[in-house]
Amino acid sequence: MFKIKDIILSFILIWCHIKTSLAFSECSGSNVANPNISGVNDCPSWLAYLQSTGTNIENWCTTTGSTKCCLTCKNILESCVDRAYTPDCQQKLQQGLCQNQLADQNTVQVYCRKTCGFCSLSAALSCGFLTQTCGQGACLPVTYFSTNTIRCSCPSNFAGAYCQRSNPCLSFPCSNGGTCSASNDADVPYTCACSLGYSGANCQNFQALGCNSSPCLNQGLCNALANGGYQCICLREQKSLKILFRNKE
């Protein structure tokens, strides 16, 4: 039987794993990003949240985003440029023609995105304007915090925010029955959900959770079981004493 202390410890370990699995970062060599916000588990959802709070996305991407969400911010910054000659765009803006349709069926603001103020996250992060494509995957429109953005859907053998690397789980790195989940973090490409009684990055460490609380009395020896439980091994004198009392009864 597990004691209350063991149950609490198990919940703590599970919660720590959940918090760790939310960590992400698209940029190699950067610190893992974890804003600890409900519904935010990658850079597109983080940027959507920031926009919902009124944050200037372009400014954020040139500072914090450049080391945390470099791929997503690359799409935004490179999409938020005037594709036409900027003075022409400024003239069109002054004339109020940003919404006017051109001969190629596009509006002026398609070519004058920055000048015409068409650099919202919804516009920049749309499948049609991706500069960092989804590689072997497919671009799917999604909505976070009422903001339209995108997510790359990767085939099973690719992973990463833009399906830019091989799926690390194909090598089965999680031992002892652990479950591997690929992440968007370049520094921590996968996380392992370990079976009860195991811990470590690859579930390589056995934890005798049941024996941590020293449950065996009278100098009995605690034997950790594979499922994280325990079994008490009593000394010879204790067994004899139990038999003696049982015979007396």
- C-beta separation of 52 from 97 below 8 A: no
Pairwise CA distance, residues 181 & 178, whole Å: 10
pLDDT score, position 23: 65
Q: Is the pLDDT of residue 21 over 80?
A: no
Q: Which two tokens stand for residue 193?
A: 């959900």
Average pLDDT over residues 80-102: 87
CA 83 to chain centre: 34
Average pLDDT over residues 170-185: 87
Tell me the per-residue pLDDT of 29-78, one tens digit each, with 9 for 90 and over: 677 777 888 888 888 889 889 988 988 888 898 888 888 888 888 888 88
Q: Is the pLDDT of residue 107 over 60?
A: yes
Percent above pLDDT 70 for the chain: 81
Q: Would the CA dihedral through 80, 42, 153, 163 be positive or negative?
A: positive
pLDDT score, position 209: 64
DSSP 8-class letter at 82: B
More confident residue, 174 or 39: 174
Q: Supply the pTM of this predicted model.
A: 0.58
More confident residue, 235 or 66: 66
Q: Is 222 helix (H, G, I), strand (E, B) or coil?
A: strand
Per-residue pLDDT band at 17 (split at 50, 70, 90): very low
Indicate the average pLDDT of the chain.
77
Lowest average pLDDT, out of 4-8, 145-149, 202-206, goes to 4-8
Q: Which two tokens stand for residue 99?
A: 């919404």
Pairwise CA distance, residues 225 & 65, whole Å: 46
Q: Is the pLDDT of residue 19 over 80?
A: no
More confident residue, 3 or 95: 95
Residue listed under structure tokens 């029955």: 177
Nearest to 162 by CA among 192, 131, 188, 121: 131
pLDDT score, position 174: 93
Pairwise CA distance, residues 130 & 121, whole Å: 12
Per-residue pLDDT band at 237 (split at 50, 70, 90): low
CB atoms inside a 10 Å sphere around CB 135:
15
pLDDT score, position 9: 44
Q: Is the pLDDT of residue 120 over 80?
A: no
CB atoms inside a 10 Å sphere around CB 34:
18
More confident residue, 91 or 20: 91
Average pLDDT over residues 193-214: 79
Domains in the chain: boundaries: 4-80+119-199, 208-248
pLDDT score, position 242: 37
Alpha helices of the chain — where are they, by DSSP H?
4-21, 43-52, 57-62, 65-68, 70-79, 86-94, 108-111, 121-124, 236-248
Pairwise CA distance, residues 45 & 176, whole Å: 33
